[in-house]
Structure 1
Amino acid sequence: MATGFFWDERCFWHAGGNYAMTLPLGGLVQPLAAGGLPENPETKRRLKNLMDITGLSAELDMRNAGAATRAELERVHPASYLDKFKTLSDAGGGELGQRTPFARGGYEIAALSAGLATAAVDAVLRGEVENAYALSRPPGHHCLPDWPNGFCLLANIAIAIEAAKVTHGLGRVAVIDWDVHHGNGTEAIYYGRDDVLTLSIHQERNYPTDTGAITDRGEGKGSGFNMNIPLPAGSGHAAYLAVMDRIVLPALERFKPDLIIVACGFDASAYDPLAQMLVMAETFAEMTARLKTASAALCDGRLVLVHEGGYSEVYVPFCGHATIATLAGSTIEALDPLKPNFTARQPSARTEAFQLELIADMAQELL
């Protein structure tokens, strides 16, 4: 079986920002790359284009999907929020939460983005594909049930999980969020539950600034099933792999999930404008390889990556290509043109030693 790749051109037409212009975005007016917000179509479109050019796309099971249904959305989001979102979308767009502007048709595109994640999970659970990547846009990990936030309008991963629980009777799910920003939406949705392990690796106090503390472990039945790993700015390749080896993999072995989902943001890269981390494309590939091995041992290889953030139009395509090629076991490479620069910018030995000691301390506290 091949790796499934779920995408739709219409997701690239989501108008995520129109602050600086008065163009009537939405409908048949394709959004500009620079619409006022960093979350624009080009990081995703250029990833897909790079895969086409290198031939990686030809090795994948390229799939489309329908939008998530209203019933699927209502398992996570209250009807009142969905009604408000749809009404504003039909009226030409606007903004409901914080940093979540959208144009006409934004509701339908967000439901399609959630549908891609839902279809990716469904295909893996049905055994139609070995594993899967959903190129979802708009992203979802900041969205609370009734409060859109940080470019996220619907909680894509949570919608996919809840659909799979109904359709497949899915049991335990681990969500590993390596987007550089804290996955506060996913955390909030599952904070009181013990059937979903939420684990977020993020830059401390980047966004949101008031969530993501290591002491936030869940509540009630969910106590101990939420894990935050806030890393200091400047963390690089060695720190992220240490987090995987010292915290993530042991947590997965203890939890024994039936499915692993990654909230796959590429904004921890050294070239991202919204963070101060030093991760390389190679880092994402190696983290993916570790989760492939873990999923094979723990849950018959059931692994799904759902696209989240990443705001460098130049570098996201290389991070994504390395990740997806690793997921698919492909030998096709897109040589990282910035690796020499990023290797030279990795933390000094003294700083790296501090970071690794901090990670060891967090491992003791969390495990």
Structure 2
Amino acid sequence: MQTGFFWDESTFWHGGGNYASMFPVGGFVQPMVNGGLPESPESKRRMKNLMDLTGLSGELAMQSAPLASMEDLLRVHPKGFLDEFKRLSDTGGGEIGARCPFGPGGFEIAAQSAGLAKAALEAVLKGSVKNAYSLSRPPGHHCSADTPMGFCLLANIPVAIEAALAGGLAKRVAVLDWDVHHGNGTEAIFYDRTDVLTISIHQENNFPVDTGDFADRGEGAGEGFNLNIPLGGGAGHASYLEVMEQIALPQIRAFQPDVIIVACGFDAALIDPLGRMMATAETFRQMTRQVMTLADEICEGRLMMAHEGGYSEVYVPFCGHGVLEEMSGSKITAPDPMGAMYVKRQPGMSHQRFISSEIAQMRDALGL
């Protein structure tokens, strides 16, 4: 079977309108492309373009999917929020939540993004593809049930999970989020649940600054089913592989899910403007290999990835290409234009040794 790649041109047409990010426009501040929204279409469009250019697209099961239905969305989001989002979308666009602007038709584009994630997970669980990648845009991991934030308008992964649970396709789901920012929305939606394990590996105190503590383990019946792994700035290739092998993967193995979902952000890469980490395309490739090996061991290889952040238009395409090479087993490569020197240097860097100490402390606290 092939690796499924779920995408739709319409998601590249989501825009932030006249939005200036964190910087006031005027004076010496020149207005920015895409209204100043760092979450631009180019990193995703260029990722697919690179796949087309190398020929990797031809080895994947490329497909679109229907929009997530109102029934799908209502399993996660309250009706009042959806109605207001739709009203603004139909009347020219606007902004809901913190840093969540959108233009006309933004509701439908967000529903398309969630629909891609839903279809990708369904295809994996039904066995019609080997594994699947959803090029979802706008992203979703910061969006809680009723509070969009951080460019995330709908909770793509939770919408996909709830549809799969409702359809009897799965009973236990593990979500591993390696975006550089804390997956606070996904965490909040499942914080008191025992059927969904949520793990977030992120840069400490990046965004949101008041969430993502190691001590936040869930509440009520869900206590112990959420795990945050905050890392100090500068963590790179060796540190990410270490934290995967020593903390994240053992937790997923103990949970024994029916499927593993990765919230696949590429903003932990070394030149991302919204992160301060030093991962490379090879880092993401090897983390993908680690997760695939675990999925083969515990859930018959069932793995789905949903695209989240990643803001370097130049480097995201190479990170994504590496992930999909690994998922598909393709021999087609896109040589990393800048990663090799960093991978070679990182293990001896003093700040990497410091992060290894942080990892050891977390392992001790978890009894690993």
TM range (shorter): over 0.9
Q: C-alpha displacement at 1:20, in angstroms?
A: 4.9
Aligned: 1:147 with 2:160: no
| Pairwise CA distance, 1:356 | 1.0
Residue 129 (structure 1) aligned with residue 129 (structure 2)? yes
- Deviation string, structure 1 residues 222-248 (Cα, Å, up to 9, x no partner): 000000000000000010000111011
RMSD: 1.4
Residue 25 (structure 2) aligns with: none
- Listed as ranges, the matches of 1:172-321 within 5 Å are 172-321=172-321
- How far does the alpha carbon of each residue in 1:35-68 deviate from its partner, in whole angstroms, 9 at most, with x for none? 3111000000000000000010000001110100
2:118 matched residue in structure 1: 118
Aligned match of 2:27: none
> Contact 2:20/2:37 (CA < 8 Å) preserved in 1?
no
Query: Secondary structure of the equivalent of 2:262?
Result: strand
Return the alpha-carbon distance in structure 1 between the equivalents of residues 69 and 33 of structure 2.
29
CA distance in 1, matches of 2:226, 2:239: 21
Conservation of the 8 A alpha-carbon contact between 1:17 and 1:39: no
The reply to whether residue 171 of structure 1 matches residue 171 of structure 2 is: yes
Change in Cα spacing, 1:169 to 1:60, as seen in structure 2 (3 Å) is closer
Question: How many Å apart are 1:306 and its aligned residue?
Answer: 0.2
Structure 1 residue 46 corresponds to structure 2 residue 85: no
Q: Equivalent residue for 2:359?
A: 359
Deviation (angstroms), 1:350: 2.6
Gaps of 5+ in 1: 22-31
Letter aligned with residue 192 of structure 1:
D
- The letter of the residue matching 2:265 is G
Report 1:68-83 matches (<5 A). 68-83=68-83
Q: Distance in 1 between matches of 2:329 and 2:344?
A: 28
Distance 1:345 1:38, change over 3 A: farther
Distance in 1 between the 2:232 and 2:66 partners?
Answer: 40
* 1:164-213 CA distance string (max 9 Å, x none): 01113411100000000000000000000010000000000000000000
Cα offset, 1:363, TM superposition: 1.7
Residue number in structure 2 paired with 1:98: 98
Distance between the aligned counterparts of 1:35 and 1:321, measured in 2? 28
* Aligned-residue offset at 1:343: 3.5
Structure-2 change in CA distance of 1:332 and 1:169 (3 Å): closer
C-alpha distance in 2 between matches for 1:96 and 1:175: 26
CA shift, 1:276, in A, is 0.4
- Please, which runs of 5 or more residues in structure 2 have no aligned partner? 22-31
Displacement of 1:353 in angstroms is: 1.8
| Counterpart-to-counterpart distance in 1, 2:334 and 2:328 | 14
Q: Secondary structure at the match of 1:73?
A: helix
Percent sequence identity over aligned pairs: 61
3-state SS of 2:346 partner: coil
CA distance in 2, matches of 1:284, 1:357: 22
The answer on whether the counterparts of 1:76 and 1:159 sit within 8 Å (CA) in structure 2 is yes
Q: Tell me how far apart the structure 1 counterparts of residues 147 and 222 of structure 2 sit (CA, whole Å).
A: 21
Q: Residues 47 and 317 of structure 1 are in contact (CA less than 8 Å); yes or no, is this contact kept in structure 2?
A: yes
TM-score w.r.t. length of structure 1: 0.95
What displacement does 1:345 show? 6.2
Q: How has the CA–CA distance of structure 1 residues 33 and 60 changed in structure 2, closer, same or farther, with 3 Å as cutoff?
A: farther
Write the distance in 1 (CA, Å) between the matches of 2:130 and 2:33.
34
